[in-house]
Amino acid sequence: MIKAYRANCEAISLSPDDGSEQIPDDVVWIDLINPSRTEEQHVEKLLGLDLPTREDLKDIEPSSRLYIQDGNVFMTASLVWKADSDDARLTDVAFILAGKRLVTIRYAEPKSFHLFIAAITRVPHEMRSGAALLLKLLETIVDRTAEILENSVAGIDNLAADILGSQARSKRKAPRYLEDRLTNIAAYHRLISKVRDSLASLARLQTFLHTSAQVQQDKEAREQGKSIARDIQSLTEHASFVSGNLTFLLDASLGIINIEQNGIIKIFSIASVVFLPPTLVASIYGMNFQLMPELNWTFGYPVALVVMLMSAIIPFLFFRWKGWL
């Protein structure tokens, strides 16, 4: 799918089926969404440049993700996709400054693009150039990343209350309660890791973009780029802080599980020690010796029971006195 936007934010179609031979002069943004090879070739013909393929976007070398060719600036960043679901992913998006136009190539639909398109069409304003449009788009992407972090922090706080709060002990009585919380921690850790990867790629893109001629020639764009870079740095530090909290929460959960397991083992250990003396007494009187005076006592059986009971009570009281119970 190919979508194009004029400087007045009007959306038009550049599909190969329309038979368009040239791009209107006032088009400042061409958005390729999961394009076919025919659509890629059509846009390449209209712009006179080679577009990166889907395989090219997956390259991790900086020279493949950030470069200038024939005056055109090619940049690739990884954006968080499906952050509101249990299957958060990273998707690679290409940003190309071809003259005064911005070209984006994406094979997914991150929410930040929907927010940006809705904003520019709802409150139309004149878009000066592709570079200015790209900076506005990066602002929306950074804001969306901040929203993902805020939602994650709220969820992590609720998770911490479930594990460490005042009412957590009663909840932990349910079978596999803490094990289920470990699964939630792992999901949040995976999401935060992807956010950090996305912020790292955005930081590299912003640094490269700031040195381009399209931005350096525009004072307002330079200031806007510096503001975006500060926001990315701030979010990166915040993501690292959240990741540290997750690590602490994971360690605390494992510690609680270990303590509860030790408590169970402690109960069995004490029970075995408490019942060991009665077992010894019963074993003695269970021996088949002929000369055992207690066998002929009238009260031999009750006495043996009392001895076994006392041999169990005395170690129990001793453990309580020592504070082991």
Q: Look at residue 4 and tell me whether its pLDDT is greater than 60.
A: yes
Tens-digit pLDDT profile for residues 185-220 = 888 888 999 999 999 999 999 888 888 877 777 778
pLDDT band at 42 (very low <50, low <70, confident <90, very high): confident
pLDDT above 60 (res 251): yes
Given a cut of 70, is residue 104 above it in pLDDT?
yes
Q: Given a cut of 60, is residue 299 above it in pLDDT?
A: yes
Give yes or no for residue 55 having a pLDDT over 70: yes
Cβ–Cβ < 8 Å for 250, 178: no
pLDDT for position 18: 65
> What pTM was computed for the model?
0.76
